[in-house]
Amino acid sequence: MKLLRILTGVHAGAQLQLAPGTHRIGSDDGADIRLTDWHAAD
């Protein structure tokens, strides 16, 4: 199983186990894992 770890910022140290498959990470509404940090690229 894959693991997503946040390394820096407010949520540093947070971890999320990802189920098998493809996961889209981003700041838009269509992302499976949504980033809301203003530093995240669109």
Q: Which is higher by pLDDT, 29 or 41?
A: 29
Tell me if the pTM is above 0.85: no
- Separation of alpha carbons 20 and 23, rounded Å: 9
Tens-place pLDDT, residues 2-34: 999 999 888 899 999 999 999 998 888 999 998
* Nearest partner of 21 among 2, 4, 6, 35, judged by Cα: 2
Q: Which pLDDT value is given to residue 9?
A: 82
* pLDDT at residue 40 is higher than 80: no
pLDDT of residue 41: 57
Tell me the C-alpha distance between 35 and 42, whole Å: 10
